[in-house]
Amino acid sequence: MLKDWSRNARPRLLKAVILGLVIGFLGLLLSPFQFMLNLEENTGLGLLFKLRGVERPSDEVVVVSIEKESSDALDLPNNPDKWPRSLHARLVENLVQEGAASITFDVHFIEPRNPEDDQLFAAALKKAGNVIIGEPLVTREIDANADGGGQAQPGIHSIVKIVKPIELFAKAAVATAPFSLPRIPFKVNQYWGFQTGAGDSPTLPVVTFQLLTLPLYDEFLSLLKNVSPQKAAALPPDSAAALQARGVKRLIRDIRNIFEGDPTLADNMLQALAASSSSANGTQNREMLRSLVKMYAAPNSRYINYYGPPRTITTIPFHHALDLHDGQVGGRQYDVKGKAVFVGLSEAVLADRKDSFYTVFSQADGIFIAGVEIAATALSN
């Protein structure tokens, strides 16, 4: 009887093996094509998120939302471009008073406004010393069918230009950085850590994370020195020297160039970190260092691990953040001490609202997620 079962099972097993090999071969054959990548991202990735469900984000990241609730409460137009910059100055001062570790504005300040308000905001930025402000990007397409010498150069080239904030704010902030995302109908599955097309400029989440981990710069440099003394010698000896001589963005570019020049460096540093017991403050610092190494070794574009629908990341309305005192306002508790705070448009926005994006958690009623929450999610990742 066992022999009969074995005799019948063999052909079925062979068929199953052949079918598996055929499916695997077809998968390998089709995987390089864009339509398969799109199918995997838009269907497979979405299914994975739905099966996983909502997840708790990091407690270390908070969003301050610029939205209609605050414009109504402050008796201001429902257009943040018309809000006085003295309000942003008050916000920065209060967040610093409440102990925010960093403040990142996903807001563009590219034109001067009321001189007195602008001076107040610049003074608040300079005094805080931990504020990063956004840089908009302008894309211009050039038809390269002719190069001026009669030679055909097929294709369209895109030139991405970074627009700097006004000089008054750019000098007062600790750093400026871009953060752009594709508009609908594209589903936003990835973000740029380093902005392709704009000189690989580090973006808001990357600059914010480097600023937050500056207290670990000595340990990071020691780790790099352990693996490659020659490469470590190319960097400033401590974080104070790095900020004074180069600034946060220049430091990031220099470290990024070192990692791009040696693809084995990240693995070697991670191995050295795993074998080391010198991290002064234990597990949390070790995890931060590991994330820092991985950030510099990662490709320009990375997938976003969304935690859930809009407002999954802790969100404080702008008008509440202005009046926050000892972590409380109006009977509510909002803790920003030691946390990374992102400021920008963020509410239960409709699809046609400015700075809203279509994601795997977008809802059938047109409620999309705001760009500032995607930036905060990227940092939380």
Amino acid at 258: I
Q: Cα dist. 328→248, 297, 341 in Å?
A: 32, 40, 16
CA separation for the pair 178, 183 (Å, rounded): 15
**What's the confidence (pLDDT) of residue 46?**
63
* pLDDT tens column, 294-332: 999 999 988 888 888 888 899 999 999 999 999 998 888
Number of alpha carbons in the 13 Å side-chain half-sphere of residue 334: 27
**What's the confidence (pLDDT) of residue 48?**
66
Whose structure tokens read 């999309």? Answer: 368
Identify the band that residue 130 occupies on the pLDDT scale cut at 50, 70 and 90.
Answer: very high
* pLDDT tens column, 86-101: 999 999 999 999 999 9
Question: What is the model's pTM?
Answer: 0.81
**What's the confidence (pLDDT) of residue 181?**
76
- The alpha carbons of the chain give a radius of gyration, in whole angstroms, of 25
**Going by DSSP bridges, is the β-strand pair 131-135/102-108 parallel, antiparallel, or unpaired?**
parallel
The predicted model gives 62-74 an average pLDDT of 93
User: Residue 116: is its pLDDT beyond 90?
Assistant: yes
Burial of 201 (0-12, 13-18, 19+ CB in 10 A): buried
* pLDDT tens column, 32-52: 544 445 545 555 566 666 666
Tell which phi-psi region holds residue 282, choosing left (phi > 0), alpha (psi between -120 and 50) or beta.
left
**What's the confidence (pLDDT) of residue 331?**
85
The predicted model gives 355-359 an average pLDDT of 58
**What's the confidence (pLDDT) of residue 291?**
96
The predicted model gives 281-293 an average pLDDT of 88
User: Residue 287: is its pLDDT beyond 60?
Assistant: yes
Identify the band that residue 243 occupies on the pLDDT scale cut at 50, 70 and 90.
Answer: confident
